[in-house]
Structure 1
Amino acid sequence: MLDTPMAQVPLLDMSEQAADPQGFARALGESFERFGFAMVSNHGVPDDVVERAWAMTKAFFDLPEDEKRKFFVEGGGGARGYTPFKTEIAKGATHVDLKEFWHVGRELAKGHRFESHMPANLWPDRPEGFRDTFLDLFKALDDAGLRLLSAIALHLNLDKDWFEHAVEDGNSVLRLLHYPPVPADAPEVRAGAHEDINLITLLLGAEEAGLELLEKNGTWLPVKPPAGAMVVNVGDMLQRLTNHVLPSTTHRVVNPAPERRGFSRYSMPFFLHPAPDFMIETLPGTITADRPNRYETPISSHDYLHERLVEIGLIKK
């Protein structure tokens, strides 16, 4: 694929993975190496679950501000529950992001060994059915993510199940995002240029224009999936693990065209994380004479996540 501004992130059919796992892995890996992004259709997340989730997301963010703020945990780093408008800021940015969000994490049994690293979920009283809907969506995205990681493993010449142990009971987060309408003269962008922290991100709701990735030549490329498709991108943990063979690409959400500024934008990214005690150590197969190891010292995913949450203002030093 030519490295030109006219290039587009390819749309891959995930239903082909079962019949041709190597072919799908090759196509996904090539898209990641070129863009750090891919788009996938037929990803297996049930339509009815997604439709319920959109309805719940919109209903929750329509609630009064004081009701939503009951679920804001001061000093909690936004790990669970509600994070108010204009709280998060991209690393190095001068303006805070124009968004509010809600985080759902993995449900753990009482006394689980990761209980101290992964706080319990918070659940609002309304809209009714919120908890069940997002536990269903979390599970469906978790399953889809594992299938994508299997393809990534094959592309890296690893066993197809290599990531299973790494992400077992992983600290993954489902984020419900609301970007409210913006004034015509707003100087900020809805979400400043940033990279994701985790292994991979699975994003529902990018059909509404605004998502852009930074090309290698310095231009911004819009990412426009068809209805129902999912955007998937590499996070910094996977970039570090693969010695930058798979790049974590800078991306942003820009303010809409003037005729769309009176409308809200909603999306639901699923940030797929390893278990807190997983050590991010450069894969030997990604180290060559031309690509020396960039990261001599391994780091746990928990410590890495903490460093990054401080950088983006969700945790105070």
Structure 2
Amino acid sequence: MNRIPSVDLKDFISNDATKKQNFVDAIGKAYEEIGFVALKGHFLNHELEENLYKEIKSFFDLPIETKQKYEIPEIGGQRGYVSFGKESAKGKKEGDLKEFWHFGQYVEDDDALKAEYPENVIVEELPHFNSTGKEAYKMLEKTAKYVLRALAIHLNLEETYFDQYIRNGNSILRPIHYPPITEEPKEAVRAAAHGDINLITLLMGAQGRGLQVQNHKGEWVDAIAEPDELMINVGDMLSRHTNNQLKSTIHRVINPPKELWGTSRYSIPFFMHPISAMKLDVLEACIDKEHPKAYEDITAGEFLRERLIELGLIK
């Protein structure tokens, strides 16, 4: 497969059973073959998208001393600011050429989870930064819920199977700034080849060239979304839960050609995580003679901790 398939969420949430099933079949096939789709018809409107970009650009334009006020190393970068070069891909020594921010869950009706998650960090210098981030978080979470409902049907599960696990889930909205490149990078790239940790990732900002996806032949395919599309991919948790039936695909963000080194790139992934207690045990329906159980039992919380240690974000 040498291109990323495009689907429209409006088909799934329509009252047309044929359109709904066609959406389920298309997204299921894409996630079994390449692990990525471009999605139209999501809940993030153009005005909210514009406002979010404006706010995050304003934040990343703040002096480094101001941004560092919001960096909290003891929580492994789960909330607030993470400065340039701090994160590296699994197995890589070089830090990625990026800085980023984390908005986390806004817990409702669950004191235990509220105590488990770090508080969101408030940026005093920008009065609309946090409210805009929260609104975008909610719209992306809503979009992700319907994508997972479609995948539940594809997997012959009850449609709302994932709902109980993603409500108040440990999801993260991560605005990323890839600053201008000022000198020849030795080994580092904007984001080294990696798979995501979570259930699914919804990515804003894949409109320009840079994001690449590795297909089954090991070839790198450009993943470029239309202006009204989100790029959505399977993460390792979902791949593990489905015994690799749904593919968590290796992807990267390459450095631009030299003539574009002076430009910034912004992208905003939403990492859909379940609650920590969700069991990622391989689904029985995904095990057969040709596909024996590939993974040991583990919870989402245990798996996340393992991976954050591998990424160097917690000790």
TM-score, length-normalised on structure 2? 0.96
Q: CA deviation at 1:206?
A: 0.7
Equivalence for 1:263: 263
Q: Which runs of 5+ in 1 are unaligned?
A: none
Q: Which residue of 2 aligns with 1:140?
A: 139
SS in 1 for 2:56: helix
- 1:27 is displaced (CA, Å) by 0.3
What 5-or-longer segments of structure 2 have no aligned partner?
none
What residue number does 1:217 align with?
A: 217
Residue number in structure 2 paired with 1:167: 166
Q: Note closer, same or farther for the CA distance 1:192–1:287 as it changes in structure 2 (3 Å cut).
A: same
Amino acid at match of 1:13: D
What is the aligned partner in structure 2 of residue 104 from structure 1? 103
Q: Deviations over 1:33-52 (max 9, x none)?
A: 11111111121212111111
Question: What is the rounded CA distance, in whole Å, between the counterparts of 2:102 and 2:288 in structure 1?
Answer: 39
Q: What is the DSSP-based 3-state SS (H/G/I as helix, E as strand, rest coil) of the residue aligned with 1:107?
A: coil
Structure 1 residues 150-185: Cα deviation after superposition (integer angstroms, max 9, x where no partner)? 111111111111110111210000001000011352
Call closer, same or farther: CA 1:227–1:220 in 2, change over 3 Å.
same
SS in 2 for 1:196: coil
For residues 49 and 298 of structure 1, what CA distance do their matches in structure 2 show? Answer: 40
Quote how far apart the aligned CAs of 1:14 are. 1.6
* Post-superposition offset of 1:268: 0.6
Deviations 1:108-143 (A, max 9, x none): 359711134311100101222111101100100010
Q: Which amino acid aligns with 1:12?
A: V
The offset of 1:87, in angstroms, is 0.1
User: How far apart in 2 are the matches of 1:270 and 1:111?
Assistant: 22
**Aligned mates of 2:228, 2:126 — CA distance in 1:** 24
Judged with a 3 Å threshold, the aligned counterparts in structure 2 of structure 1 residues 218 and 111 are, in CA distance, closer, same or farther, namely: closer
Task: Give the AA of the match of 1:221.
Answer: V
User: Is 1:14 matched up with 2:9?
Assistant: yes
Find the counterpart in structure 1 of residue 275 from structure 2: 275
What is the aligned-residue identity percentage? 39
In the alignment, does 2:30 pair up with 1:35? no
Deviates more, 1:109-118 or 1:30-39: 109-118
Q: Distance in 2 between matches of 1:152 and 1:145?
A: 11
Report how far residue 23 of structure 1 moved: 1.1
| Aligned-residue CA RMSD (Å) | 1.3
The letter for the 1-side match of 2:10 is S
State the match for 2:49 in structure 1: 50
TM-score, normalized by length of structure 1? 0.95
Mapped to 2, the partners of 1:117 and 1:201 lie a distance apart of: 22
Q: Distance in 1 between matches of 2:183 and 2:87?
A: 22
Q: 1:292 maps to which residue? A: 292
Change (3 A) 1:313 1:292: same
Aligned mates of 2:116, 2:151 — CA distance in 1 = 27
SS in 2 for 1:231: strand
For residue 103 of structure 2, give the secondary structure of its aligned residue in structure 1: strand
